[in-house]
Structure 1
Amino acid sequence: MNETMNENLSKKKVLVIGELLADLISEKDIESLAFSSGFVMSQGGSSANLCANLKWMNIDAELIGSVGDDGLGTYLINEIKEVGLSDKYLTRLPNYQTSLVLVGKSKNTPDFIAYRGADLQIKKIEDNLINEAELLHTTAFALSKDPAKSNILNAFSKAYKMGKYLSIDWNYAPSIWNEDNGVNVFNQICRFKPLIKISLDDIERFTGRKLTIEESMQELNHIDARVICLTCGKDGVWFKKENQAWFHKLALPVNKVVNVTGAGDAFWAGFLAHFINKKSIEDCIENALTTARQKIEKSEPLYKGNLINT
């Protein structure tokens, strides 16, 4: 997306409800967190990253989340404000510690361990915020625990009845959900005909089976969603609109793989930025792939820099 295109995008409201976390990312590529490494702290959380990416693309986006009333919480709020997001709907909780995630940097799927506290304490979403939004987005991470889970599902139910667009990054991980397999929540979300992003890694973790791309598409065929995007890393993305066939787009050539962490959030932000502005699904996918490539080629988050002409 170039700067002229960015200026022409209308500022339509996206309400992102979910996790704002401190990421401790290994300084070097490691196969697993079992190997020692130094770590660098940065603002993280799929929901917060996507919201910041949308803001970077000039989309009117608000983040609803919760952090502890501690040093890490202050750090995260300062980071959010630095990239142009408001902290108006971020709750600071004195009795909960700010959540953090250890991440092993990798050119493949990163290893991670989450230490959770304040992030899952998201409160009831006010009706006026739902009314003002055109699209609501959340993640499997945010939906894994109450009270956040119940409050987000309630907001999605209200938004669906109002005819709003709904979006979910089903970034499922068993270590986050513990004894819950996530099926009931996933089925509830799917009743709202959402836009769904799910990766091959996500669907493998969700089903507990190693699936081929073809098997993954078959697994997703029964879902009644407005759009499903199955992201396949270097093999690109398979996508389908409601009651239509699957289509494939190749991943764009990458000059150098610098860091894949956050590429999925960049992909979906690129998709939603075009979707909210009534672009075709094919154009949404093109922009998603372009945005993901930009993230893979740089070490810092996209929203830490200027828009890149493409």
Structure 2
Amino acid sequence: MNENTVHISKKKVLVIGELLADLISEKDIESLAFSSGFVMSQGGSSANLCANLKWMNVDAELIGSVGDDGLGTYLINEIKEAGLSDKYLTRLSNFQTSLVLVGKSKNTPDFIAYRSADIQINKIDDSLINDAKLLHTTAFALSKDPAKSNILNAFSKAYKLGKYLSVDWNYAPTIWNDDNGINVFKQICRFKPLIKISLDDIERFTGRKLSIEESMQELNNIDVSAICLTCGKDGVWFKKENSPWIYKAALSVKEVISVTGAGDAFWAGFLAYFIEEKPIAECIDNALITASKKIGKLEPLYKRSLI
């Protein structure tokens, strides 16, 4: 076990969503229009979060789908290295493993997604929902059918059973194409989930450049259990339903290596404490600690740093 691992008692988290191959630029680039060499790594917000939870000794399972190809084999091997099971990962012979090109950056990374197998998530077995304490998914996973319908159905069942629900609303128009995501967002909010959303997410979702204050006003209209508005180096604002917003500053890091995956690390840190019934402020503290560890290294948290 990594010496930095946070030891948490086991509570089942069911993560439903994307497992992708990330091709990340070797150099920092502002846009993928600039040429660069690329390095492949396991990616996908859902898979990253699940691996981070496992790194923190949380009992987490990943439901997703990959192609029956070399990239699919690579991703499953990476998932196993992270300590996760591939029991609920479907391999599909008629679909290619999805991949994303990412421009490494100290700011918001530029990316292009090439999707196939990741949207083919099947119906989630009722026994998995029954055994879970919390279900998590992402806007990325909710953007296309059949995954969208099957995830919403699972969330509906979990909500009726009184389970905790979590959504990283990492909305991007290029993923949703002609769908603005509003109807799906309204559907998911009916289940009173925990919502993580960034300033970039809100700008893409609303189509407007909003300040932090304007973003909080926008989110005041959402009736959910809790909302975290992440603002990068400017920290995080958060609130529980019917409560005022609270601010916590981002932690300083010795050197910013890459912000890619920092949001997934942040939310994993939050959920690891949340399922232990910790106060929301403590959940945020752990989220900021976990994110700062990821920002300070290029590799996933569960891998030993090479620098």
Say yes or no: TM over 0.5: yes
Counterparts of 1:37-186 in structure 2 under 5 Å? Answer: 37-186=36-185
What residue is the counterpart of 1:272 in the other structure?
Answer: 271
Quote the Cα distance in structure 1 between the aligned partners of 2:163 and 2:120: 24
SS, match of residue 106 in structure 2: coil
For 1:186-219, what per-residue CA distance to the aligned partner results, in whole angstroms no more than 9, with x for missing partners?
0001000000000000000000000000000000
TM-score w.r.t. length of structure 2: 0.97
Q: Kindly state the Cα deviation for residue 239 of structure 1 after the two structures are TM-superposed.
A: 0.2
1:78 aligned partner, one-letter code: N
Distance (whole Å) between structure 2 residues aligned to residue 167 and residue 3 of structure 1: 28
Paired residues of 2:5 and 2:57 also in contact (CA < 8 A): no
Structure-to-structure mapping, 1:221-232, within 5 angstroms: 221-232=220-231
- What RMSD over aligned residues (CA atoms) do the two structures have, in Å? 1.2
| Partner Cα distance (1:209, 1:4) in 2 | 39
- Residue aligning to 1:302: 301
CA distance in 1, matches of 2:226, 2:251: 21
The AA in structure 1 aligned to 2:287 is A
Residues 106-164 of structure 1: CA deviation (Å, up to 9, x unaligned): 00000000000000000000000000000000000000000000000000000000000
Q: Distance in 2 between matches of 1:199 and 1:24?
A: 23
Letter of the 1:165 counterpart: Y
Note the alpha carbon deviations across 1:236-284, whole angstroms, 9 max, x for none: 0000001100000000111110010000000000000000111110000
Residue 283 of structure 2 aligns with which residue?
284
- The answer on 1:218 being equivalent to 2:230 is no
Listed as ranges, the gaps of 5+ residues in structure 2 are none
- Kindly tell me the number of residue pairs found equivalent between the two proteins: 304
The aligned runs of 1:196-275 (5 Å cut-off) are 196-275=195-274
Q: Once the 2 structures are TM-superposed, how far is the Cα of residue 294 of structure 1 from its aligned partner?
A: 0.4
The alpha-carbon deviation at position 5 of structure 1 amounts to 8.4
Partner of 1:6: 6
Q: Distance in 2 between matches of 1:240 and 1:4?
A: 28
Q: 2: distance between equivalents of 1:284 and 1:264? A: 14
User: Matches of 1:229 and 1:164 in 2, distance apart?
Assistant: 19
- 1:299 match: secondary structure: coil
Secondary structure at 1:239 match in 2: strand
Q: What residue number does 1:36 align with?
A: 35
For residues 92 and 4 of structure 1, the distance between their equivalents in structure 2, rounded to whole angstroms, comes to 33
What is the distance in 1 between the residues matched to 2:66 and 2:57? 25
Q: How much does 1:83 deviate?
A: 1.1
For residues 270 and 74 of structure 1, what CA distance do their matches in structure 2 show? 28
- Whole-Å separation in 2 of the counterparts to 1:6 and 1:20: 24
**Off by >4 Å, runs of 4+ in structure 1:** 2-5
Tell me the distance in 1 between the aligned counterparts of 2:93 and 2:281: 46
- C-alpha deviations, 1:53-86, integer Å up to 9, x for none? 0000000000000000000000000100011000
| Pair 300,4 (structure 1): closer, same or farther in 2 beyond 3 Å | closer
Deviation of 1:299 (Å): 1.1
- SS of 1:108's equivalent in the other structure is coil
